[in-house]
A and B are shown apart, each in its own frame.
Chain A
Amino acid sequence: MNSFNSIYNFVSGPLVWLAFIVFIGGSIYRIRNLIILVNKKERFIYTYMSLKYSLRSISHWIVPFATISWRTRPVMTITTFIFHAGLVIMPFFLSAHVIMFHNAWGFSWGSLPEGFTDAVTLIVIICCVIFLLRRVALRDVKFLTDASDYAVLLIAAAPFITGFLAYHNFGSYHFWIILHILSGEIMLVAIPFTKLRHMLYAVFTRAYIGSEFGKIRHARDW
């Protein structure tokens, strides 16, 4: 038990700090590098950028079925929207997370009912399975896929799988909860250094192309 406590304290203490430092520091570093490159070589980008057209583009792409692309592949659209919504919302509103935060910092916010979050966790895991099946079964996606794509998918799925198993006391709770915390930390650290960095870049690439199409090309980009 003691060894569990010391491992638990370590992964839920210093490692969390480290993970957040690497995640935030790495993210700032990545975006800073892009901005430096823009300033050095592509200053025209500033003249292309438009808030109006950036928002026009983003607002179409964050709505399911609002673009020709989302309409063309409905299974992927539903899967990716549910997956990403789960990925972003769940960590903040899962009751266990909120309680932990309250214990550590003394304040908290509302959380979602446990039955609901449990179901969402399962749905997110199913979404990951659909992503995996796409990579294996669809010829076009299979051709594009390399080992790192599977690794990234595993990194994103792991916190949900381990969290689900821990919650349901599957075998050893201690084992899964430590793995759950670790996998969350791995995911945070991986964001700036793997293809997960699309989380950081998407808003910029979308805003840029929305501006280029809207302001310069006078055309839609969805």
Chain B
Amino acid sequence: MALPYIEYEKNIIDEGLETGMKNLTQERIDKALAKVLDGETGAKLKAYVDTCVHCGLCSDACHMYLSTKRDPTLTPAGKVKRSLSVLLENRGNITPEIIKKVSIVASTECNLCKRCVHYCPFGIDIAYMMSVVRRICHLCGVTPLYIQDTAHSHAVTQNQMWVKEDEWIDTLQWQEEDAREEIPDCRIPLDKEGADFMYSVIGPEPKFLAQLLYQTAIIFNTAGLNWTMPSCPGWDNSDMAMFTGDSEIMGRNKRFHYEAAQRLKVKRIVMGECGHAFRSVWDMGNRWLGWGMPPVPMVHAIEFYYDLLKSGKIKVKEKYKKSVTLHDPCNTIRGMGLHEKARYVVNELCENFIEMHPNREHNYCCNAGGGVINCGPPFKKKRVATNRIKAQQIADTGAEILITPCHNCHSGMEDIIGDYGVGMHVKFINDIMYEVMEKPEIE
């Protein structure tokens, strides 16, 4: 069944962008452009800009283009033309109005998913070019309101959701208490020095999704692992500052994260099912700080679950009965190639797994990642309208459950499933593992 096209308002007013534009001076624009174009960027950007021959082969990569009756302004190269190229070609005459316009393109019309790399014969990394534009907009102070609020939260609290330290500890203890009703000696050990694993999550988990902490506690305890969670800042691995272009705050937060692990002398960090946080911890943040590879070994939940099932530390009592399909998040697949491990995990846990097409590295983006969903309500309808192709793709599987091992994907999928009327539920691997695993017998 073909899903409908949704119309959306093209002129979106965002308070953060409007205010930023009003406060922006010419001097600040020139300084930002000089810092980024002459300072921070180099051969990579130059080669990409000089090599693109405007062939349009990247168009078919982009879910936004494919979702909008092929809107030519929404191709990957079309977005570069409307943002980076504008800045490069008109340097010296860039007005605050122009900065606002390119900020909308870079912040809300590209998810930095890198699918277009698979379509460009030259391998031009358009996500990188969009990140450069976001960096310039950040230095100009012209960023969408909602995502900027989360970046402020990172700066002030070292977590994304303004979670206070006592709230964090209280949430963990509350989840531990609940979990003890199921497994009486279940623990969420805080600040346990020398543990084998430090588990880190994203800010929204204690804020809205505390059951994931509960389920994770059951998984760790059942597997009999020596683990801990930090009670102090550094527990949050998420990073919206990375997506606003605030590299300094990105670096600071990653330092908190890794230093929490080093202080606790843990052997490795396991992170929850989040894609962008993985990008930040494993790719962007660590490298901003000068660590080519993470200073403490770090694995994503997919790899962790894979190891648990492969080693038999977690056994499946009875496989999940409902039909499931699997979404491949950009950051763990195009970012780390975890697609086969994810399939192993899903097949171990579920009886009836249906592939969506295209899949693995070629999977369509959720249109939520890259900070786009974090730009909040003003851009929600546009975000849903520009991802019809994803809704169609998952609807075509006919599965009852959609597994998405990524928080942003998860929320974005719920929105498109709701608005396009695709009857499907979204779950994390964590939800299903908790449901089907063998748990200790209670006497």
Residues of A whose CB lies within 8 Å of any CB of B are 34-35, 37-38, 40-42, 44-45, 47, 57, 61, 67-69, 72-73, 76, 80, 134, 138-146, 149, 152, 195, 197-198, 201-202, 204-206, 208-210, 212-213, 216-222
Contact = CB atoms under 8 A, between A and B. Distances in A.
B258 interface: no
A185 to B, nearest CB: 22
Given A143-B81, A149-B53, A218-B336, A45 B118 contact: no
Most buried by A among B55, B61, B65: B55
Given A47-B292, A140-B75, A197-B50, A41 B122 contact: no
A105 B54 CA distance: 40
Given A76-B55, A144-B78, A67 B123 contact: no
B390 to A, nearest CB: 17
Given A140-B72, A218-B336, A219-B361, A213 B43 contact: no
A195 B53 CA distance: 6
A72 B119 contact: yes
A209 B125 contact: yes
A41 B42 contact: yes
B367 interface: no
Contacts of A141: 54-56, 59
Contacts of A146: 54
A204 B118 contact: no
Given A140-B78, A143-B78, A205-B123, A67 B118 contact: yes
Highest count of chain B CB atoms <10 Å: which of A35, A45, A47, A72: A72
Contacts of A38: 42-43
Contacts of A202: 51, 121-122
A38 B287 CA distance: 16
A221 B118 CA distance: 5
B59 to A, nearest CB: 4
Contacts of A138: 56
Given A68-B362, A144-B78, A221-B117, A210 B123 contact: yes
A201 B47 contact: yes
Contacts of A201: 47, 50-51, 122
Nearest to A201: B51
Interface band, chain B: 35 or more
A143 B47 CA distance: 22
A42 B43 contact: yes
When A and B form their complex, which 6 residue pairs have the shortest distance between CB atoms, in order from nearest? Answer: A209-B123, A218-B337, A41-B42, A143-B72, A141-B56, A37-B43
Given A69-B57, A140-B59, A206-B123, A44 B292 contact: yes
Interface string B321-337: 00000000000011111
B10 interface: no
6 contacts: A37-B42, A38-B43, A41-B42, A80-B121, A195-B54, A206-B123
B72 A45 contact: no
Contact of B72 (A80, A142, A213): A142
A139 to B, nearest CB: 4
B70 interface: yes
B260 interface: no
A139 B360 CA distance: 29
A196 to B, nearest CB: 9
B224 interface: no
A198 B55 CA distance: 12
A139 B123 contact: no
Q: Max chain A CB contacts within 10 Å: which of B51, B70, B336, B360?
A: B51
A205 B118 contact: no
A163 B111 CA distance: 47
B60 interface: yes
B51 A68 contact: no
A111 B77 CA distance: 40
A101 B40 CA distance: 48
